[in-house]
Amino acid sequence: MTEPVVFRAGRALVVTLSALTLAHLLDLSHRFPSDTRLWTEFTSPDALYRYFATVGGPLEVATVAGVTVLALMVGYQRPAGRLALAAAVLHTAALGVWLGVVLPANPGTVAVPSDWERWRIRWEMGHTVSFGLMLLGFATLVLAVLSERHPRQGGRFAGGGAIH
């Protein structure tokens, strides 16, 4: 039996969202040592990250919703359902970090405040923690899918199992 489209779509959402967030993390080594002017030019909503909010925000909400639906479809009685629920919680936590840490620091990327270094650290570390949570969520979702494909029986993989 083939895997339902909702599972493939959920994984695609998670991978795409992780890639977008990874882009922030990969740029960290170039942005962080920058001076005030250069850092604000890098991080300005009108510059490099112009479409991250319009694409990334809805994608993040869709990921949380999709992984939550996935967990509900599988059911929490099964290991895959509990793992999918854990993935949904991790992605919700990542969204919460973004809303609680990064979003309030966004104005510091436009109008440079006198304590801009504090805002820079908050903005950069918020993205880093959010990515870490998303990566854990992705790994947990992969484990959920693998646990359904290969259910354990007597300490060995039975194989041939599929998500129904």
Do 131 and 143 contact (CB within 8 A), yes or no? no
Which pLDDT belongs to residue 3? 59
- Report helix angle 79-97 to 5-31, nearest 10: 40
Q: Residue 159's pLDDT is what?
A: 45
The C-alpha atoms of residue 134 and residue 50 are separated, in whole angstroms, by: 21
- Please identify which residue in the block is written with the tokens 């109008």: 111
**Which token pair is 160?**
């041939």
Got the DSSP string for 76-111? TTSHHHHHHHHHHHHHHHHHHHIIIIIHHHGGGGTS
Whether 54 has a pLDDT exceeding 90, the answer reads no
- Residue 141 in this model has a pLDDT that exceeds 50: yes
d(CA 24, CA 128): 8
pLDDT at 133 over 70: yes
Q: Which residues pair with 156 in a beta bridge?
A: 153
Average per-residue pLDDT for the chain: 76
As given in the structure block, the two tokens for residue 1 are 């039996």
Looking at residue 94, what is its pLDDT? 93
Q: At residue 151, does pLDDT exceed 60? A: no
Say if residue 103 is exposed, middle or buried (CB neighbours under 10 Å; 0-12, 13-18, 19+): middle
Q: Does the pLDDT at position 158 exceed 60? A: no
- Note the pLDDT tens digit of each residue in 15-50: 777 776 777 677 777 676 777 777 676 666 666 666
Query: Which has more confidence, 74 or 21?
Result: 74
**Is the pLDDT score of 132 beyond 80?**
yes
Q: What's the Rg (C-alpha) of the chain? A: 19
The whole-model pTM stands at: 0.72
How many CA atoms lie within 13 Å of 137's alpha carbon, on the beta-carbon side? 32
Predicted confidence band at 105 (pLDDT cuts at 50, 70, 90)? confident
